Structure 1
Amino acid sequence: MIKKNLPLFFSFCLIISVLACQNDKREDKKSKETAKIEKLASEVKAEKIKTIFYSLPSPLELTILFKREGVEYHYEELHDPKKRDAYVTTVKKALNLGVYGADLSYAGLFAKHADAIQFFSVSQVMAEDLGIGQTFQREFITRLEKNAANKDTLLQVISDFFLENDSYLKDQNQQDISTYVLVGGWIEGLYLGTHMISAKTSSTGIKEIIIGQLNSLDNLILLLSDIGKSIELNNLKDNMILLREYYNEVDYVKIDESEIKTKQESDEILIDNQQHRHEMNDSTLLKITETVTEIRNSIIR
């Protein structure tokens, strides 16, 4: 009886073996396809992030906009370089590297040579701690020291540095650190722009610059939402979202035909293609200023 069933048994085992082999091949193929899809998704995400990075203004660009509207230089509003050693976590170091970078921009733009070297040196140490000190080359310090009396050259050196530093940060696969640096620099830029106001500062101009940063704010919130979670980061993101809510109070007013004609004749550019202008009242400006200050204080604390 047993002998009669042996061929049947072996046939059954062979069928099971073949099916198992086919199943393994299908699973292997499925696994490779999944890995391919995940790799493609990761590459698409990386390109999207890089596009967002390059859409954000550098601290120097933001500083130039505010200076055109009449802001002045007050050293006491800048972040204390002596607090550099107070930051021990990667998040804090990167955020404050962004802050010091914005302060470097202000010092350079107002031809404060000694202050510029001070902020550059602090930034260099912090960048090296984070492993991104490649762009803080000795060449920049040497050029800063040699051109103390030349405002234009001083500004050119700082501009060259920011171009190289921005490109390095945005091209490296270090999304977290790059995001923190960009957030810190952007917040400090807005903070200084709203705290160095003088009697000759154009309130309307300041409001227009702040309104113009809406897209950057949205992108920064998007980047923060895409990286790791912690109480510190959650608080930062929540405060950025609160700041975003105040932008909803900005009014969009349709420009009448006579104003459009006047603007066209004077070669002025309309705010957008829909021929609307943005209006921000003083109450909204105050809310945004106070929220930016709170975020900045939480960063440098």
Structure 2
Amino acid sequence: MNRIIIYSIIIAIAGYGCGGCNNNKTSSNTDIFKSIVEESDALDSMEYETSETTETLQILQNISSSPVEMAALLQATGVPFNENYITSIDDVDRYNTDFKRALNLGIFGADLGYLNMYRKTGPVMTNMRAIRKLSEELRVQQFFDFNTIRRLATNNENLDSLMYLSVSSFNNMDVHLQKTGRSEVSALIICGMWVEGMFIATQVIKNARQNTEVIERIGEQKTIVENLVDILSHYKKNPQYAQLHKHFSRILDSFDGVTKTIVQGEGKEVEIDGILVYIQNETSYVNVPEKTLDNIIKSIDEVRQEIINI
């Protein structure tokens, strides 16, 4: 279930970004995502049909950030790669508690997706060293086939396999953490991933205000921030989580001014499994005022700095 939802997010964002794009590479990447979804559907239908899901887990499943989701949109809209957007691994040894490790494993996971999408072999290898160290210290290294990832990273023709292995590693790890009573660690990883993906997007927008597709996608993250704030509130008895909750509340405040308009279109009847179903066609528009966008960019940058310098 978790992977199905995450991959659905990838498809939605990649497809959204490709609306006016005829780039063959982008089409290829979208095809990769579709093949990942098909394989994940079969796996998850076997593994989780009878599992019980808590309300918090349901929320996590709906908002889990994929390491490639924002990178897919950026590449689809023609944004060039910029190595300055990713986090240096120089300070990885300072992450000496599970709280610090989990947050920054999420950070590096988002960077891995960004690097994979743009086929940056050298930086991928560097990034994987940090991921390996943190995952070993968090006792989740069994979900990463580092040798295979390293081999695939040196062969750009295997981008589909590399992305599948990278994304599925994080998703399988998330399921394990949820099922073994370490949901707070899972929440931290997701928070780190989301912040880094948003940081990359907001840095792009600082100098590309004409990219309305990315701006709209940023505005749509308001609901996700609300859910993350709610999830973190469950762990506020821990001072570190309480502080992180304040950081994400500050991010949520920066979204004040974002509005969403839904325009109802003409519905239609379609046949699904032999039954006629009426489907309402609607289009949503997200408006992000200039000042609000500036506030979002600022808050994301500040919270990210707090996390990587923790």
Give the structure 2 partner of residue 144 of structure 1: 150
Letter in 1 for 2:215: K
Aligned-partner Cα distance in 1 for 2:172–2:292: 34
Superposed displacement of residue 175, structure 1: 0.7
Instruction: Report the aligned-residue RMSD.
Output: 2.7
Greater helix share, 1 or 2? Answer: 1
Give the structure 1 partner of residue 161 of structure 2: 156
The CA deviation string for residues 259-282 of structure 1, in whole angstroms up to 9 with x for no partner, is x68xx9xxxxxxx97755221111
Give the structure 2 partner of residue 134 of structure 1: 142
Q: Secondary structure at the match of 1:81?
A: coil
Q: 1:226 to 1:201 in 2, by over 3 A?
A: same
Residue 59 of structure 2, aligned match among 52, 66, 71: 52
Q: 1:155 to 1:99 in 2, by over 3 A?
A: farther
Q: Do the aligned residues in 1 keep the contact of 2:202 with 2:297 (CA within 8 Å)? A: yes
Aligned-partner Cα distance in 2 for 1:254–1:158: 34
Superposed displacement of residue 288, structure 1: 0.4
Q: Do the aligned residues in 2 keep the contact of 1:66 with 1:206 (CA within 8 Å)? A: yes
Q: TM-score, normalization: structure 1?
A: 0.72
Residue 88 of structure 2, aligned match among 59, 72, 80: 80
Letter in 1 for 2:159: L
Q: 1:293 to 1:115 in 2, by over 3 A?
A: same
Q: Do the aligned residues in 1 keep the contact of 2:235 with 2:242 (CA within 8 Å)? A: no
Q: TM-score, normalization: structure 2?
A: 0.70
Q: Secondary structure at the match of 1:249?
A: coil
Greater strand share, 1 or 2? Answer: 2
Superposed displacement of residue 147, structure 1: 5.2
Aligned-partner Cα distance in 1 for 2:210–2:187: 31
Aligned-partner Cα distance in 1 for 2:186–2:230: 13
Q: Secondary structure at the match of 2:91?
A: helix
Q: 1:198 to 1:288 in 2, by over 3 A?
A: closer
Pairing of 1:159-170 with structure 2 (within 5 A): 159-170=164-175
Number of residue pairs aligned between Structure 1 and Structure 2: 243
Letter in 2 for 1:104: L
Aligned-partner Cα distance in 2 for 1:175–1:199: 37
Letter in 1 for 2:163: I
Residue segments in structure 2 that go unaligned for 5+ positions in a row: 1-50, 269-279
Identical pairs, percent = 23
The CA deviation string for residues 179-238 of structure 1, in whole angstroms up to 9 with x for no partner, is 111000100000011113597775211111112222221221122111253443222211
Q: Higher relative CO (CA 8 A, sep ≥ 6), structure 1 or 2?
A: 1
Q: 1:228 to 1:75 in 2, by over 3 A?
A: same
- Structure number, greater radius of gyration: 1
Aligned-partner Cα distance in 2 for 1:159–1:237: 32
Superposed displacement of residue 49, structure 1: 2.3
Q: Secondary structure at the match of 1:277?
A: strand
Aligned-partner Cα distance in 2 for 1:174–1:131: 11
Give the structure 1 partner of residue 275 of structure 2: none
Residue 184 of structure 2, aligned match among 176, 180, 184: 176
Superposed displacement of residue 145, structure 1: 2.3
The CA deviation string for residues 14-63 of structure 1, in whole angstroms up to 9 with x for no partner, is xxxxxxxxxxxxxxxxxxxxxxxxxxxxx97x522222222123121222
Aligned-partner Cα distance in 2 for 1:68–1:181: 26
Aligned-partner Cα distance in 2 for 1:163–1:142: 13
Letter in 2 for 1:160: L
Q: 1:133 to 1:214 in 2, by over 3 A?
A: same
Give the structure 1 partner of residue 290 of structure 2: 282
Aligned-partner Cα distance in 2 for 1:106–1:177: 22
Q: Secondary structure at the match of 2:304?
A: helix
Letter in 1 for 2:188: Y
